[in-house]
Amino acid sequence: MSEHLFLAVPLPMQIKEKLSSFSKSWYGQLPFKKWTYQDDFHITLSFLGPVTYTKSNELVKQLQEELKNFNSFSLKLQNLGTFGDTKQPRVWWCGVNKSNELVECQKRVSKACETVGFAIEKRPYSPHITLAKKFNDHFKKEFEIPLIWDENNIKFDVSEIVLYKIHPSKQPSYEPIEMIKLLKD
């Protein structure tokens, strides 16, 4: 039996609360069908799809090896953006600084995934936190997607990587099943 899994940077509660408050202020004004539940905010490192229990254990061991000497690091919320056509965006997101540490962490995660036999995303890595998704083409109001992030210096520390299981019909939809700690600076 397999479960759908992904690897991500978890966010501290104060960041989740900030993003939730911000996105809720736009609910009903923007044409999205699905708004991210507060506890589900994260930064994806690698989507895995269906994974067996045996393969997930193998992956965790490989991740622990690949990240055993990797230091914790800081990230900063810095911009807003969309994926897809600006008139019918698929996703509205909040971006983080693409630090050297985050890029290296994502590379190591991808390497571990590839070593265990997972297909790796070929597109350039674009770190983001999904606020809302699935354009609602029945939306009847005029809208303009906010793309300016006015909050400066909202920083947070990344001290672990999490393997999440997806529960599409629940809230929260993402359950942490394994945590890989990073070294303290």
Per annotation, catalytic residue among 4, 42, 138, 167: 42
In this structure, the strands spanning 73-83 and 160-166 are: unpaired
Active-site residue, 138 included: no
| Pairwise CA distance, residues 69 & 89, whole Å | 39
Q: Which residues contact 51 (CB under 8 A, 6 or more apart)?
A: 2, 3, 4, 5, 59
The three-class DSSP label of residue 13 is helix
Tokens standing for 73? 């690091």
Active-site residue, 128 included: yes
Q: What is the DSSP string of 14-75?
A: HHHHHHHHHHHTTTTTS-EEEE--GGG-EEEEEEEEEEEHHHHHHHHHHHHHHTTTPBPEEE
Q: Residue 83 carries which side chain, given as an amino acid letter?
A: F
Per annotation, catalytic residue among 4, 128, 138, 167: 128
Omega of the bond prior to 172 within 30 degrees of 0, cis? yes
- Residues marked active site are found at 42, 128
